[in-house]
Amino acid sequence: MPIDTASYTARISSASQTQLCVITYEILLERIDQALMCGEDDTHGYKAAVEKARYTLQTLLSALDMDNEIARQLFSLYVFADKLLVQAYFSGDRSSLQDARMIFEPLMLAYREAEAADVPENVKQAVLNPSQHIYAGLTYTGGKLDEYVDQDTSRGFRA
């Protein structure tokens, strides 16, 4: 089952840095869950899901600011988790995926808690600012919910 990327569009376009971390952890956990849900005979789907989880983990790794002590500790944790994902990929060992999941879920919850904490408003500012506006509502086309994306072509960049 592929990830519904459309559901993340509105959240990402207005997300702060901390919210982007939470979203990335959510995607990583969904990809690990996809691998865990694959049947024993679905090695292609299993390996594809683990590869996508590793790719998502690489996104987290590349975003670390290594001048920060916490980032250096996260780096070590991410490298260990990557080894678990590699082990799961080559051996098919699903317990390695469970171990990796047990690393990322508490981290995601910690970032959610940090986002909910009372932080200065400039920290909560959206990373993609100004970004496209997304409007959702009922339309007359069959009573279904449709999204409308404002097509401002400048998207905040002016030459």
pLDDT (tens digit, 9 = 90+) per residue, 53-95? 999 999 999 999 999 999 999 999 999 999 999 999 999 999 9
What's the confidence (pLDDT) of residue 94? 93
DSSP assigned state of 28: H
Q: What is the pLDDT of residue 114?
A: 86
Domain 6-116 in this protein, CATH class: mainly alpha
Q: Are 118 and 18 in contact (CB under 8 A)?
A: no
Supply the pTM of this predicted model. Answer: 0.73
Low-confidence stretches of the chain (pLDDT beneath 70): 1-6, 10, 118-159
Question: How far is the C-alpha of 147 from the C-alpha of 151, rounded, in Å?
Answer: 12
pLDDT of residue 26: 93
